[in-house]
Structure 1
Amino acid sequence: MTALSATLLAACGGGDGTVAATATVSGVAATGAAIASGIVTLKCVSGTTSAATTGTDGSFTIDVTNVTLPCVARVEYKDAGGTMRQLHSVITAAGTANITPLTELLVSKLSNGTGASAFDTFTAATGRAITAAQVKSAADAVKAYLVTLGVDVANFPADPVGAKFVAKNGSTDGDAVDKVLDALKIKLGSKSLADAETDINKSSTGGSGSTSTG
């Protein structure tokens, strides 16, 4: 059984629901700077949707009409050095869904693994086990982890996935939420985001679906 399966199937209930009316998922993919020309793909309870490409401001929109949620999201992009990178997120409802290092850590904590493994091993069964309460708990754990790094979390969004924000792009400066991404990068120093994923799962702070009982 995969890490995501083992973690989420231990939880009570599920959060699946089909979006019947015309609906979209829109958000911003960013690392502090906007991710331009990234490819966003969703894996949902009802299957994989078509991909979307991010704009110069990191924005993207994907049609989720008649799609059964929850979904996990991946953005693939080239960094400044030309190396291919990935970030991940989780989506429990249509609307806003960002993909950032904060959501990467959120998915990592939620699945007790890595964002990449959560996406790669996602199935309808694991998707149905995801609840909004679990996502909120994982977000709280990310905030607590940032505090241990010395990041000022005054502008940490209560919902890193659903918060509307502006990422730095061109001459446009990033907003307060975007500055949290910048601060995370600075405080990690020589550590990679993968190191941070390992660290957050060593933390005793709540967030994993495995903490739920049923």
Structure 2
Amino acid sequence: MSISIMARAHARPNSARPLQERSNRSHRTSPQQDVCTYHLVRISRNRKTGPIPVTTTSANSCPPTCSFKGNGCYAESGPLAIPPTTAPEPGVKSNGTAAVGLPIVRGQVTMKCASGTTMTAVTESTGTWQTAARNSDYPCVIQVSGGTAGGVERTTSLYSIASGPGVSNITPLTDLIVAALSGQEPGAWFASATNGALSGAITPVGLSDALGKVKSAVATLPGKLSLPDGFDPITTGFNATKGDAADGLLEVYGVALTTAGVTQADAGRAAASGTALTKEAFSLTAYTTPNLTAIKMGTSKNLDDTFGISILDLNRGNYTVKASIDADGNLRALSAGSSFNGYVSLLGNRIGQLCTANKGGMDPTMASQYAYVSSELTEVTDATELFGKNFVEYEDCASYGTSEIRADGAFIFTETASGNSNTPDLNFAQAMASNGRVNAENGSVIRGKVYKYVVGGATTYVYLIVSTKQGTSMPALNGETDYVVMGVSLQP
């Protein structure tokens, strides 16, 4: 926060002059007026003062007779960085949101500008911040340090750029842009960048190139992260709240880093050097209760030779799991302590199920919570494509029978153990409609999706069925009204 005080110095009035003349003179604007800037830091980080409010004053407040002026004054070159003598222009400011998928609260924002000016601010409970500046101050590099996110103390800093007045967010994604722009660790650049270095690096071309490098880097994370068209992590305004698309992207990014087994610093180096953050990344969609909820899912072959799985379920929370895969790319084992106690993995893990410790329809110790498909599969909207085909059906991460969709569209399930078949269901196609198919017997609504995967001239179809108790939005699993089923076609 900067406070400007216009201090006007006048010679002692001459007693021989009329009183009226002296009064008029006091209202004139002196061409020699001085502007002093007082800079307030609410919480000092200086070890000598401790965490108390501290002010610094612009250099023109110092007497010209001071022997240290221009001769080793600590404040001229040290970290105090006394503010310049010119007051900020009214109405010119930088502002934005500091967040990591949660707002950064009471973080210390420091904006170091090409003019030599340094401004500070403190983030609010929403992660927002702002500070006054002059047009001539820009461009600037910004740091947010300290504060909390979700009630947890933050121990690392994040960085961003202000190429001019207006919005400058500070997030892990803007931190990557600074790394790509500077070609080095953002904190080191912030500490060492000279005024000329800031002006030379922070250009429209430089920022565009850096953003392109960041897009390439995050695309190698689980889920193959992508930024929406027209979205700029630095200048696009957003709210650090649940439901905001940009805030959700930050959450996805954070989970993806954990899944890949890499850090924010690793991501910065990758963005700067153009290297990948995983050996191979995959994007999938998982379906679950209630009402065929679609969830972003990511997997990756990691640099440490583990296999990572991430699912961001708004109803149940986020899942990050490590696993191993076989030579075909299918899951072979889940790591100890995993949130899941069973799985089905087929076609190189392009389709599968993940189970949790809930009561299932076929297994009392586990229920299929998610059925998933890779982005490599194509959605089928014409149910007649399935007519005349046979499937192996999976529920609770195991196969308990087969199903047939006859040429007339009737669906028939046959249990392997007993050999019994259900009555033909002529309304299977209704499950693919947006309203689903109501099961009057137990008061549930059945909804489904169908996909296909074509390779080497062979087509594999998969149907995903999710049943939910009618009228509820709870993410339940009970094997009766609320369950997840998957069917995979048999090759002729």
Q: Which amino acid is the alignment partner of residue 235 of structure 2?
A: G
Q: TM-score, normalised by structure 2?
A: 0.35
* Preserved contact between residue 165 and residue 177 of structure 1 (Cα < 8 Å): yes
* Preserved contact between residue 113 and residue 198 of structure 2 (Cα < 8 Å): yes
Q: Is 2:235 aligned against 1:166?
A: no
The superposition leaves residues 54-74 of structure 1 with CA deviations (integer Å, 9 ceiling, x where unpaired) of 001100001012542110000
SS of aligned partner of 1:47: coil
Q: Which amino acid is the alignment partner of residue 129 of structure 2?
A: F
Residue among 133, 145, 167 paired with 1:96: 167
* Preserved contact between residue 136 and residue 159 of structure 1 (Cα < 8 Å): no
Aligned length: 183
Deviation at 1:76, TM superposition (A): 0.5
2:321 corresponds in structure 1 to: none
1:69 corresponds in structure 2 to: 138
5+ unaligned residues in a row in structure 2: which ranges? 1-87, 277-492
Q: Which amino acid is the alignment partner of residue 126 of structure 2?
A: D
Residue among 138, 142, 149 paired with 2:210: 138
Assess, with a 3 A threshold, how the Cα gap between structure 1 residues 154 and 127 changes in structure 2: closer, same or farther: closer
Distance in 2, matches of 1:88 and 1:156, equals 23
Distance in 1, matches of 2:139 and 2:112, equals 9
Deviation at 1:146, TM superposition (A): 1.1
Deviation at 1:21, TM superposition (A): 5.7
Deviation at 1:22, TM superposition (A): 2.9
* Preserved contact between residue 156 and residue 180 of structure 1 (Cα < 8 Å): no
Residue among 254, 257, 263 paired with 1:192: 263
The superposition leaves residues 179-210 of structure 1 with CA deviations (integer Å, 9 ceiling, x where unpaired) of 111111111113210111122223169xxxxx
Q: Which amino acid is the alignment partner of residue 114 of structure 2?
A: V
* Preserved contact between residue 165 and residue 175 of structure 1 (Cα < 8 Å): yes
1:117 corresponds in structure 2 to: 188
1:9 corresponds in structure 2 to: none
Q: Which amino acid is the alignment partner of residue 267 of structure 2?
A: A
The superposition leaves residues 142-192 of structure 1 with CA deviations (integer Å, 9 ceiling, x where unpaired) of 112111113432537532110011113xxxx14111111111111111321
2:455 corresponds in structure 1 to: none
User: Percent of counterpart pairs with the same letter?
Assistant: 32
Q: Which amino acid is the alignment partner of residue 143 of structure 1?
A: K
Q: Is 2:106 aligned against 1:57?
A: no
Highest relative contact order (Cα 8 Å, sep 6+), 1 or 2?
Answer: 1
Q: How much is the aligned-residue C-alpha RMSD, in angstroms?
A: 2.1
Q: Which amino acid is the alignment partner of residue 209 of structure 2?
A: S
SS of aligned partner of 1:148: coil
SS of aligned partner of 1:188: helix
Assess, with a 3 A threshold, how the Cα gap between structure 1 residues 164 and 81 changes in structure 2: closer, same or farther: closer
1:4 corresponds in structure 2 to: none
2:226 corresponds in structure 1 to: 153
* Preserved contact between residue 96 and residue 169 of structure 2 (Cα < 8 Å): yes
| Structure with a larger share of its residues in strand | 2
Assess, with a 3 A threshold, how the Cα gap between structure 1 residues 156 and 196 changes in structure 2: closer, same or farther: farther
* Preserved contact between residue 135 and residue 164 of structure 2 (Cα < 8 Å): no
Deviation at 1:84, TM superposition (A): 2.1
Residue among 95, 103, 107 paired with 1:38: 107
* Preserved contact between residue 155 and residue 180 of structure 1 (Cα < 8 Å): no
Q: Is 2:219 aligned against 1:126?
A: no
Q: Which amino acid is the alignment partner of residue 35 of structure 1?
A: I
Distance in 2, matches of 1:88 and 1:154, equals 19
Assess, with a 3 A threshold, how the Cα gap between structure 1 residues 48 and 84 changes in structure 2: closer, same or farther: farther
Assess, with a 3 A threshold, how the Cα gap between structure 1 residues 49 and 56 changes in structure 2: closer, same or farther: same
* Preserved contact between residue 151 and residue 183 of structure 1 (Cα < 8 Å): no
* Preserved contact between residue 156 and residue 177 of structure 1 (Cα < 8 Å): no
Assess, with a 3 A threshold, how the Cα gap between structure 1 residues 126 and 154 changes in structure 2: closer, same or farther: closer
Q: Which amino acid is the alignment partner of residue 142 of structure 1?
A: V
Distance in 2, matches of 1:58 and 1:156, equals 24
2:179 corresponds in structure 1 to: 108
| Structure with a larger share of its residues in helix | 1
Residue among 244, 249, 273 paired with 1:175: 244
Assess, with a 3 A threshold, how the Cα gap between structure 1 residues 110 and 136 changes in structure 2: closer, same or farther: same
1:203 corresponds in structure 2 to: 274
2:458 corresponds in structure 1 to: none
The superposition leaves residues 44-95 of structure 1 with CA deviations (integer Å, 9 ceiling, x where unpaired) of 0112323100001100001012542110000002455535220000111100
Q: Which amino acid is the alignment partner of residue 158 of structure 1?
A: F
The superposition leaves residues 7-44 of structure 1 with CA deviations (integer Å, 9 ceiling, x where unpaired) of xxxxxxxxxxxx85630001000011000100101000
Q: TM-score, normalised by structure 1?
A: 0.78
5+ unaligned residues in a row in structure 1: which ranges? 1-18, 206-214
* Preserved contact between residue 96 and residue 164 of structure 1 (Cα < 8 Å): yes
